[in-house]
Amino acid sequence: MSDTAPVPATPPQVSVRALLTGAPRPLLSTTHELALGARHRQVLDGLEQLLLDGELAASTIGALAARLECSRRTLYELAPSKDQLFLLALDRFMHRIGREALESIDPAATPAAQLRQYVTADVRYAFQAAAYDDLSDVPGARRLLDRHLRFAATVIERLVENGIELGAFRALEPSVVAAVLVAGRVRLADPDVTDEVSVPLDAALDHMLDLCLQGLANPPVGPGGQRVVD
């Protein structure tokens, strides 16, 4: 499905700054992370990869130190416990992909294209099955993830509202559209579901968006000013 059809309205003006309003506060601020130094940031990168591979929650502090070739002290300088290290890595990962998703939005694109850009931006990142299990095992992990997902829903709502204002979308309830897209995105990224779906994740997301965008799209306006409905 093409999202490039012109919209009979002024070009959408969506800025990353506006969409960032209400974003969750990071557990580790950018200022604090920069102050840690290059070695600590390297360790954080390693923790993030172990998180995605499903190898972080089951490891001991000693095993993590050996795997990352750092001291236990370096790890404890980042967080006071292994569970806190897990939450730190998860939060850092979610903030990074969320920021990249926002930056992927082209302010000059149509509302449909912007919605597709945002929802599919982080498709190259996927949790392994073991990592999904870890989210339920580590106290506070699901709650932290839900906080990021609620913000993602807020961004989608704002994109839908913008499309409605421009006449590109029907006047459907933005919160319902956001709930459907976020739930669908999470469901399709679940490793168990991914194995059952006959297409790759990026194609599955495109199919989901095709369905939603077809329902959102406003019929074109005819010569008499009336919406043309097939």
The three state secondary structure string of 34-103 is HHHCHHHHHHHHHHHHHHHCCCCCCCCHHHHHHHHCCCHHHHHHHCCCHHHHHHHHHHHHHHHHHHHHHH
What's residue 220's pLDDT? 64
140 Cβ contact partners less than 8 Å away, ≥ 6 residues apart: 83, 87
Q: Averaged over 47-63, what is the pLDDT?
A: 93
Instruction: Indicate whether 11 belongs to any domain.
Output: no
pLDDT at residue 127 is higher than 80:
no
What's residue 124's pLDDT? 67
Instruction: Indicate whether 223 belongs to any domain.
Output: no
Exposure of 129 in the CB half-sphere (CA atoms within 13 A): 5
Average pLDDT, the chain: 87
The two counts, helices (H) then strands (E), for the chain are: 12, 0
96 Cβ contact partners less than 8 Å away, ≥ 6 residues apart: none
3-7, 80-84, 175-179, 218-222, range with the lowest pLDDT: 3-7
In 104-140, alpha helices (H): 111-120, 129-137
Instruction: Indicate whether 22 belongs to any domain.
Output: yes
Q: Which residues of 159-184 are buried (b: 16+ CB within 10 A; e: fewer)?
A: bbbbbbebbbbeeeebeebbebbbeb
pLDDT at residue 8 is higher than 50:
no
What's residue 229's pLDDT? 43
Euclidean distance between CA atoms 67 and 50, whole angstroms: 10
Instruction: Indicate whether 230 belongs to any domain.
Output: no
Please tell me which residue, 224 or 169, carries the higher pLDDT value: 169
Euclidean distance between CA atoms 56 and 77, whole angstroms: 17
Instruction: Indicate whether 8 belongs to any domain.
Output: no
Instruction: Indicate whether 104 belongs to any domain.
Output: yes
Q: Averaged over 32-39, what is the pLDDT?
A: 89
Residue 87, number of CB atoms within 10 A of its CB: 21
Query: Could you tell me the CATH number of the domain that includes residue 78?
Result: 1.10.357.10
pLDDT at residue 67 is higher than 80:
yes
119's tokens: 């929802």
pLDDT band at 228 (very low <50, low <70, confident <90, very high): very low
> Is residue 134 within 8 Å of 86, Cβ to Cβ?
yes
Domain count along the chain: 1
pLDDT tens sequence across 91-124: 999 999 999 999 999 988 999 999 999 999 877 6
Please tell me which residue, 220 or 194, carries the higher pLDDT value: 194
What's residue 82's pLDDT? 95
pLDDT tens sequence across 158-198: 999 999 999 999 999 999 999 999 999 989 888 888 888 88
Range of the domain at 28: 16-216
Euclidean distance between CA atoms 151 and 135, whole angstroms: 18
pLDDT band at 21 (very low <50, low <70, confident <90, very high): confident
150's tokens: 């609620």
Instruction: Indicate whether 3 belongs to any domain.
Output: no
Question: Look-up: residue for tokens 């993602």?
Answer: 152
Q: Considering the entire predicted model, what is its pTM?
A: 0.86
Instruction: Indicate whether 84 belongs to any domain.
Output: yes
Euclidean distance between CA atoms 17 and 102, whole angstroms: 9
